[in-house]
Amino acid sequence: MTATQPVTRTLVLGIDTGGTYTDGVLLDYHTREVIASCKSLTTRHDYAEGIGKVIEGIQIDNPAEVKMVSISTTLATNAIAEGKGARVALLLIGYDKELAEAFQLHQRFGTSQYAFFAGGHTLFGEEKEPLDLEGILDYVHRIKDSVDALAVSAYFSPMNPEHELRAFEAISRICDLPIVLGHQLSTKLGSVERATTAALNASLLGMLRDFVIAVRRAMEARHIHAPLMVVRGDGTLMSEEFAARTPVETIHSGPAASAMGGRFLSRVDTALVVDVGGTTTDIALIEDGRVQVSEEGATVGSYKTCVHAANILSIALGGDSHIHIGRDQKWTIGPARVVPLAYLASQYPTVKRRIAPLLQKGWGQIDLDQLEFWFLQREPHPGMFEKGSREAEVVALLREGPMCVTDIVRRLKLIHAGQIGAAELWRQEIIGRAGLTPTDFMHLNGVYRTWDVEMSEIAAALFCRNLGMDVKTFHNLLWQRIDEIITEVILSFLTGRQLAAPDPLHDVDIGRWFFRNSIQTAHPHLETTLRLKVPIIGIGAPAKIFLERVADIFHTELILPPYYWVANAVGAVAGSVMVSEEALVYARLSEDQSEVVGYYVQTSESRTYYESLEEALGFARERVRTLAWEGAVRAGAHSPQVALEESEDGLDTYRIRARAMGTPRLA
């Protein structure tokens, strides 16, 4: 008799690295069964540390069974929104400098370092003016040591990329900086959006490379040798090599993965997905099993891009949003994210010992800065701050342990917190902040009691005493305010319209009255209701408490699928691999511009000329089909299928798009 051979499974590991938590799930690829899951705090100073903790928490018995690892991340979105990308110089060829300055277009370029050069093409791919190659090389020679990457965008480069390619070849001879070309990222004709996309992509190259290295390091330390995939902003997957070249395509990666994970776990193909995290709440719509995509291009902060990404609305509201007193002396929530006091006290018991005696003080005797603690997250690099500088003084203080703002002001012999000047320490995440959050209040009502419950009780009592109300009353007001915020955001997301701002002096806006009366009926004779025709799928650990009342307001069902608290990590492995390729077919005019004499076909690799439209379209269809299929295979797809779409762009111009899609290729 032969011994029974152990059953070898085909497992896939999904990981989502968010602003607050890193989540992981292990799935059986064939049965789609979730075998294990784990959550851990994101370690921004070294992503490998948090990812490693998640992998260890999942406890993979046989690493050889893991045939694919896929990861989604908010890294790119957060870096752009917070201005933490690398230093980029943007070279604008053929752009109108006076027009850009007149309409302040420079504010949308994605970098403050940019320069204009002669060149560019017309709508018909003809050279507008000769390329100023000498000026470009002189500029690059002067700034190459002060930037980390270069981006080049030429006017109408999707119609003819010759000047971008010539600039690339010439620059490559005099420096080894990464260079991003606009036409390789988008075939759309929006010149500003294409330049912005190129600059942002260049700013993210090093960051995503380091992130992929961190993931690989965590995998190899645990003997996982499998293909690594990254979630695109539209919920599809791409290989780590593709992601390294086009990190800008990971904009909205995390929320898109959440939407796909919610659909996968709930088995509902049409729904509104609301992902409540520690830092943000993200809203997306899935229709017929696919996340709704913005054809206009993703927007991050004030930057409009050409990136094909999920239509996501994100707001700075989550479990770790800071509850504090605003400038108008009224309590408010967010937009800043802080570490919950319950967590900080569980790590540093001295924090509770510092705050607890404040309970002996009466109303009006408490400075709420005593409820905000700063702590050292990591040591700054040697020489980062001059000896004796304010930053160095703050770091030295926090080496003693977490300290409340009041004590920091006193120790530095200042008058108020605004004089501390710690913006750079926060931006580089050398120090962190802790304060009162919704997570602390979730500890109070028993929904979430992972950390120090007593710390949350003390902090809530002190905060409410300062407001002159009891904790129960404020608790109800807090969740009522959160309900209002999320309800209003859902309305704006679905309608594309904003409610008028509240005006206490002239409260006559019918839209806002309707909104308030629908949440809490106040009129004696009129009842107004909001009805959502699709269910809400709740994602994220706080989803139940954040969304139950919201679903009631919309008179719809709240679906909390199995493993809803880590659905974003499930979405990281639930997507397919997809690659799109486009060709533009446009007319060549006679010298007097009076008639069409032929057609150009512009693909991502070359421009070719045909005398007849039929020949040009035939070549375009065949070429983009081949390019898309080959690209999907390189991106990690198994046996991709290709679909073609054709549209007219006017002025004898045609757009041919091929989409190749397949399941991810396993080890």
Which pLDDT tens digit goes with each residue over 152-206? 999 999 889 999 999 999 999 999 999 999 998 887 778 899 999 999 999 999 8
8-state DSSP, 381: P
Query: 518 and 525 in contact (C-beta within 8 Å)?
Result: no
DSSP, collapsed to helix, strand or coil, labels residue 324 as strand
8-state DSSP, 243: H
Task: Select from 205, 234, 268 the last residue of a domain.
Answer: 205
Query: 525 and 499 in contact (C-beta within 8 Å)?
Result: no
The verdict on residue 39 lying in a domain is no
Local confidence band at 44 (pLDDT 50, 70, 90 cut-offs): confident
- Give the per-residue pLDDT at 422: 84
Local confidence band at 416 (pLDDT 50, 70, 90 cut-offs): confident
**Shared-domain flag, residues 588 and 460:** no
Query: 658 and 628 in contact (C-beta within 8 Å)?
Result: yes
List CB contacts of 223: < 8 A, sequence separation 6 or more. Answer: 63, 64
The verdict on residue 431 lying in a domain is yes
The verdict on residue 467 lying in a domain is yes
- Rounded CA gap, 106 and 645, in Å? 34
CA 362 from chain centre, in angstroms, equals 44
Task: Select from 446, 473, 500 the last residue of a domain.
Answer: 473
The verdict on residue 68 lying in a domain is no
**Shared-domain flag, residues 581 and 463:** no
**Shared-domain flag, residues 328 and 469:** yes
**Shared-domain flag, residues 333 and 455:** yes
Q: Which helix (H) or strand (E) holds 613?
A: helix 613-634
DSSP, collapsed to helix, strand or coil, labels residue 122 as coil
CATH, residue 108: 3.40.50.2300
CATH, residue 646: 3.30.110.70
- Give the per-residue pLDDT at 207: 87
Residue from 462, 465, 456 nearest 344 by CA: 456
Local confidence band at 363 (pLDDT 50, 70, 90 cut-offs): low
Axis crossing angle, helix 133-143 with helix 162-174, rounded to the nearest 10: 40
- Give the per-residue pLDDT at 1: 41
- Rounded CA gap, 182 and 176, in Å? 18
Structure tokens at 360: 């002996």
Residue 100 structural domain = 84-205
The more confident residue out of 50 and 547 is 547
List CB contacts of 493: < 8 A, sequence separation 6 or more. Answer: 283, 285, 313
| Look-up of token digits 């604008």 | 92
Residue from 154, 24, 9 nearest 92 by CA: 154
- Rounded CA gap, 621 and 610, in Å? 14
- Rounded CA gap, 73 and 603, in Å? 30
Q: How many domains does the chain have?
A: 3
Which pLDDT tens digit goes with each residue over 279-325? 889 999 999 988 888 877 887 777 888 888 888 888 889 999 999 98
Which pLDDT tens digit goes with each residue over 235-247? 999 999 888 889 9
Is the pLDDT score of 376 beyond 90?
Answer: yes
Work out the mean pLDDT of the chain and round it to a whole number. Answer: 89
| Strand blocks (E) in 138-262 | 149-154, 179-181, 228-231, 237-239
Axis crossing angle, helix 453-467 with helix 471-495, rounded to the nearest 10: 90
Which pLDDT tens digit goes with each residue over 636-656? 899 999 999 999 877 788 999
The verdict on residue 19 lying in a domain is no
**Shared-domain flag, residues 589 and 462:** no
**Shared-domain flag, residues 454 and 596:** no
**Shared-domain flag, residues 326 and 468:** yes
Average pLDDT over residues 579-594: 88
Number of H helices and number of E strands within the chain?
Answer: 20, 31
**Shared-domain flag, residues 464 and 344:** yes
Q: Which amino acid is at 568?
A: N
The verdict on residue 61 lying in a domain is no
**Shared-domain flag, residues 328 and 454:** yes
- Give the per-residue pLDDT at 505: 67
Is the previous residue joined to 161 through a cis bond, with omega within 30 degrees of 0?
no
Task: Select from 186, 205, 224 the last residue of a domain.
Answer: 205
Residue from 151, 148, 202 nearest 177 by CA: 148
The verdict on residue 280 lying in a domain is no
Axis crossing angle, helix 253-266 with helix 567-574, rounded to the nearest 10: 90
The verdict on residue 46 lying in a domain is no
